[in-house]
Amino acid sequence: MKRFLAFAIFCLAISQISAQLEKPKESKKWFESISLRGYTQIRYNGLFATNPDLGCEQCDKSWGGNNGFFMRRMRMIFFGQISPRVYFYLQPDFASSASSSALHFGQIRDMYFDLGLDKENEFRLRVGQSKVPFGFENMQSSQNRLPLDRADALNSAVSNERDMGVFFYWAPKKTRELFSSLVREGLKGSGDYGVFGLGVYNGQTANKPEANLNRHVVGRISYPFAVKNQIIELGIQGYKGLYTFGSSQLSSGVGINEDKTYADERVAASLVVYPKPFGIQAEYNIGRGPEFDVLLDSITTQKLSGGYVTASYKFDWKEQTFIPFTRFQKYSGGKKHELDARSYDVEEFEIGMEWQPVKQFELVVMYTMSERRYEDFANQDNKQKGNLMRIQAQINF
């Protein structure tokens, strides 16, 4: 009887253990999968400035004049894989500048979700406001970029690099992991925008409503590969659409098409040799778009072209990282998002150094030699030339 009772208790215990093992684990709540990171950039552009009239509206509103210390960005990024096939990303900026005299506004930069179309999420749809896949430097985060501002030539394509739309991306799992590691290891990667990308977006740039019935279409192919220790990435991209001007973008009296709408199209090529330890980043684009014509006092469709080359060398010393770099850029064309599609001719040479004493802090010192012609209806024959020292402190968290 005792043996039977002991056997029964043993069987009951085994069944209970088995039931516990088979009991499904509680799934994570969606909010337990969301993380927070961010960065802040503080700049000073006033050292050794030779021309207070030299500025760059698209670059940094603290260029020139009597400007002093300036908060360029204050980003907080909420992100997470909230289910096996849904990825969420929200990035507000609390240092947006409406003008050179109106600073530190809160504004959404990114708000999108990725929907995986297969188990490994190699095929995915990105829906919402996000970066338009045109230009490596445009997609590269300002947190990772070496020069303090993006080059005019490709950045003039998309103000703030973003727009509302739907984008399809594809990349094999291994390549997606490589894209992530290039950022994680401090090699100044662009992040994961796929080997192939195709998208449809409004075309009026970020945080602005659509203004015509046409949608911009963009396509990009970019492939990273290893040559011995070096990683090289080649890319080609292009977009096409129509851009419509709002009344706040136009001077009184400037000539413009009846429907205020112009062709907006470009193609570009990219070459990136990641800094292991020597690096090169080069891009060039051509196309056509709206540009102010001084002879006609009107906005007309004109050709545009330009690009840049950045060279860098990454080395570590006593657990600190140093990256000296230099960049030359050239651009001739209009900037559709500026007043009267302001006409530009830019030649600029920069030399600088990024210092990372710890992962959470970076200091960039850069000397800029710039020659810019930028003209609109009210400000014609405007050619500025000058040099300035630029300093940026960045906190990463």
Give the distance, in angstroms, between the CA of residue 218 and the centroid of all CA atoms in the same chain. 16
Which pTM value belongs to this model? Answer: 0.89
Coil/strand/helix, residue 380: coil
pLDDT of residue 27: 67
Give the per-residue pLDDT at 99.
65
Cα–Cα distance measured from residue 192 to residue 190, given in angstroms and rounded to the nearest whole number: 7
Question: Which amino acid is it at 21?
Answer: L
Residue located via tokens 């501002």: 149
Residue 13 has pLDDT above 60, yes or no: no
Residue 327 CA to residue 64 CA, distance in Å, equals 21
Instruction: Note the pLDDT tens digit of each residue in 319-363.
Output: 999 999 999 999 999 999 999 999 999 999 999 999 999 999 999
Q: What is the pLDDT of residue 64?
A: 81
Closest CA to 125 of 115, 139, 113: 115
**Residue by residue, what is the 3-state secondary structure of 290-303?**
EEEECCCCEEEEEE
* Element holding 16 (H helix, E strand): helix 2-22
Burial of residue 12, with CB atoms counted within 10 A of its CB: 0-12 exposed, 13-18 middle, 19 or more buried: exposed
Q: Residue 397 and residue 390: Cα distance in Å, rounded?
A: 23
Mind listing the pLDDT tens digit for each residue in 69-112? 999 999 999 999 999 999 999 999 998 877 666 788 899 999 99
- Could you read off the pLDDT of 289-302 as tens digits, one per residue? 999 999 999 999 99
- 58: confidence class by pLDDT, cuts 50, 70, 90: confident
CATH node for 28-396? 2.40.160.10
Instruction: Give the pLDDT confidence of 144-153 residue by residue, as tens digits.
Output: 999 999 999 9
Q: Helix, strand, coil shares of the chain as percentages rounded to 5?
A: 15, 55, 35
State pLDDT tens for residues 152-194.
999 999 989 999 999 999 999 999 999 999 999 999 999 999 9
pLDDT at 8: 47
pLDDT band of 26, cuts 50, 70, 90: low
Q: What is the pLDDT of residue 5?
A: 42
Please give the mean pLDDT across all residues of the chain.
91
